Amino acid sequence: MRNSQITEQERQKAFESKKKAEVVERQHLHVRYHIEDMDVSDRPKRFLTAFAAILRHTNYRFALEHFIRISAKCGRCAVQCPIYTATGDVCDIPCYRSELLLSVYRRHFTLGGMLKGRLLGSGYLTDEMIDEMADTFWNCTACRRCTMECPVGIDHALITHLGRFILSEIGIAPRALVVSTREQLEGKTGNTSAIPLPALIDTLEFLEEDMKEEKGVDIKFPMDVQNAEYLFTPAVSDFLMEAETLMGIAAVFTATGGSWTISTEYFDAINYGLFYNDRILERVILKLYGQAERLNTPKILIGECGHASRSAKQYVPVHCGGKDAKPVFNILEYTYDMLKSGKLKLDPSVITERVTYHDPCNLARLGWIVDKPREIIKAFCKNYVEMTPTKEENICCGGGGGIVSIDEVRSYRTIIGGKAKADQIRATGAKILIAPCANCKKQLRELVEDQGIDCEVVGLHDLIYKAIIFE
Amino acid sequence: MQEFIDFCRGPLFRLTFLVMIFGLIRILILDIWGAVEAYRNAGDKNLAWKSAFIKTIQWLFPVKHVVARRPVYSLISILFHIGLIVVPIFLLAHVQLWKTSVGIAWWTLPYDWANYLTLLTIACSVALLLGRALSKTSRTLSRKQDYLWPILLLLPFATGYICANVTVSPSMYQLVMLTHMLSAEVIFIFLPFTKIAHCVVMPLSQFVMTLAWKFPARIDKKIAATLKKEGQSV
């Protein structure tokens, strides 16, 4: 990764807070993102109570015990972090960030730490420490590059994930995520974008008419089909912002004779729980799985969205019966299989511009979906270039870990979070940037706009829609 | 003086060595026990064993990672680790001690190699210490033990080298030998209780990472009940 830091001017712009002074005063917390008003009394005690409850009912304790034994503070993670590389601020070094929570664990939840703390009368969790955690844990884009590069094997992403979970239990979580999740789990519309069902149906009918006009083929969005093979659920924002991606997916299913359905009761795969709270994560997973059971679909298929795919892939088995749970796939896997089986045909003469591919961290970091999208792209885009580094070692778009949904930190995302990515995109000289993830696409569009890069950001199925051949 | 040296070489060595061995075994058992519990609680028991195993091997023999990033730092760190492991175990003088006291022996390093490796380990130790002290980033991350360990590890190597190669007066030799043994024994005692414990539990890290993301099933209501948040809005 290029080791270039931001200028002082960029720093000021990136960290500029739009929050009113009276809000900061009232909430006793100076963070860039908005939070809802919460109980500000005795936060350290409430933090420790929440921490204890979480440790009691989860698996985190064994991992924390392991991490405090091996933490060597070598600092190797620093060079891997796109945020630290851009800011040069010590608080952005993954190891430093992890130590904020590990020190609380060591002091309050280990015998040695408790004895030492009592004897020396020191180390008790303070409001200032909570402030620092609330700030730095939300600077991180949860891309997990640091985790890959830790020689002793400390999972900084897991520690940040846990830190956000505990903070959210005392009311500290970005308002944008909390409000959307409340609508998804308790609101009338039942999805994070608050799309009413009639509006969804209208949108899909409109798209069907469009596709008929453009392709001359009846391409449908099947709804509530019992016993279909796949329950298809995209990030719900796709229905508002990524019509071409959805059209591409519908076209692939039509061309390949696939059996799929969208549920009208619940059609949102977004799971912000992955970013800030395991209890929310579980509730969203159960809601999604409930639809697969209602419609009796044997498989769950997630659209072009990294975090939604990873959360469903990882946590449907966790909460819905282990190996007996219905399997989860990402749409790229389906499309790849269809291409390889010869059912999907793509015209290689349609896309002539230079294209490049951005690996969404949640798909590529653990090696889940890496080569399949590349093979699809190479099947019809002749002028394809790779970014460097790429695949499992990709660089985050700068909006990962939920921060893309926090609009008030856009300048932070595009000046700091996406700095390394912007350099990568420029270096490819590509005119089309493919990013099969709703979050990445939103962030990358804002990034190319703010950084003045001449490049169009699209989903993979947007291009497939243009090149698909119906026989 | 000689009596004290004999005490350090005999009972004190045995005691501190056993503290280290049992301390490390304790940590290993605690670590594995924690992982077994976590595995039992995990809602999904399908772990990426193979990938975790490959990553473990890649970090135990980190050739790939040296080439990829921070080559100078990585190389120094690796040579340092090789020296720390190889010299104390395969030094002829050490093996002879084992042979006379316990009756077991194994392959030993040629004399010259042992010397070069000792000097290399000392140099790497100094370089790592300087690297830590001179970099602002590293200084911020560092705790006391992070500075003390390179110094402490350097001591038995430097004194061992003097004993083997430098002609000094008998009383000075005794003093250096005493420092050599005492520093090693201090290392033995603190090793299982500090970051150096990674020498036994580090091979488990990749499995811990994989397993830690496998949460127990249905924790929402349990945590809500403990925190008295049942029925509360999001």
Domains of chain B in start order, with CATH, are: 2-226 (1.20.950)
Residue A83: CA count within 13 A, CB half-sphere: 31
Report the pLDDT value the prediction gives residue A2, as an integer from 0 to 100.
Answer: 47
Reported as a single tens digit per residue, the pLDDT across A370-386 is 999 999 999 999 999 99
B142 touches A: beta carbon within 8 Å: yes
The nearest CA of chain B is from the CA of A61 a distance in Å of 8
User: With an 8 Å Cβ cutoff, are B227 and A63 in contact?
Assistant: no
Q: Chain B neighbours among A 190-249 (CB < 8 Å)? A: none
DSSP state of B228: T
User: With an 8 Å Cβ cutoff, are B212 and A63 in contact?
Assistant: yes
Q: Which two tokens stand for residue A356?
A: 């490049």
Residue A134 has pLDDT above 90, yes or no: yes
Give the Å distances, CA to CA, from B222 to A3, B87, B225, B229. 45, 52, 5, 10
Residue of A nearest to B225 (CA): A53
Reported as a single tens digit per residue, the pLDDT across A58-98 is 999 999 999 999 999 988 899 889 999 999 999 999 999 99
Report the pLDDT value the prediction gives residue A374, as an integer from 0 to 100.
Answer: 98
Give the residue from B57, B132, B223, B232 with the most A CB atoms within 10 Å of its CB, the best one to mutate: B223
Residue A428 has pLDDT above 80, yes or no: yes
Among the partner-chain residues A79, A178, A279, the one whose CB lies closest to the CB of B69 is A79
Q: Chain B neighbours among A 86-105 (CB < 8 Å)? A: 90, 93, 95-96, 99
Residue B65 has pLDDT above 80, yes or no: no
List CB contacts (< 8 A) between A151 and chain B: 59, 62, 65, 77
> In this prediction, what percent of chain A has a pLDDT beyond 70?
99
Report the pLDDT value the prediction gives residue B64, as an integer from 0 to 100.
Answer: 79
User: With an 8 Å Cβ cutoff, are A61 and B227 in contact?
Assistant: no
B129 touches A: beta carbon within 8 Å: no
Distance (Å, rounded) from C-alpha A313 to C-alpha A319?
A: 11
User: With an 8 Å Cβ cutoff, are A66 and B233 in contact?
Assistant: no
- Which domains are delineated in chain A? 8-173 (1.10.1060), 179-340 (no CATH), 355-467 (3.40.50)
Report the pLDDT value the prediction gives residue B187, as an integer from 0 to 100.
Answer: 97
Report the pLDDT value the prediction gives residue A139, as an integer from 0 to 100.
Answer: 96
Average pLDDT of chain A, as a whole number: 96
Reported as a single tens digit per residue, the pLDDT across A430-448 is 999 999 999 999 999 999 9
Reported as a single tens digit per residue, the pLDDT across A324-351 is 999 999 999 999 999 999 999 999 999 9
Residue A264 has pLDDT above 80, yes or no: yes
Q: Identify the helix (H) or strand (E) that includes residue B171.
A: helix B170-190
Report the pLDDT value the prediction gives residue A41, as an integer from 0 to 100.
Answer: 92
A115 touches B: beta carbon within 8 Å: no
List CB contacts (< 8 A) between A285 and chain B: none
User: Where does residue A80 rank: exposed (0-12), middle (13-18), buried (19+ CB within 10 A)?
Assistant: buried
pTM beyond 0.90: the answer is yes
Report the pLDDT value the prediction gives residue A3, as an integer from 0 to 100.
Answer: 53
User: With an 8 Å Cβ cutoff, are A182 and B234 in contact?
Assistant: yes
What average pLDDT does the segment B20-35 reach? Answer: 97
List CB contacts (< 8 A) between B234 and chain A: 178, 181-182, 185-186, 280
Q: Chain B neighbours among A 255-284 (CB < 8 Å)? A: 278-280, 282-283
Reported as a single tens digit per residue, the pLDDT across A206-250 is 999 999 999 999 999 999 999 999 999 999 999 999 999 999 999
Distance (Å, rounded) from C-alpha B98 to C-alpha B182?
A: 18
Residue of B nearest to A153 (CA): B205
User: With an 8 Å Cβ cutoff, are B208 and A153 in contact?
Assistant: yes
Q: Which residue, chain included where needed, has tokens 């990033």?
A: B69
Reported as a single tens digit per residue, the pLDDT across B70-110 is 888 889 999 999 999 999 999 999 999 999 989 999 999 99
DSSP state of B216: B
B127 touches A: beta carbon within 8 Å: no
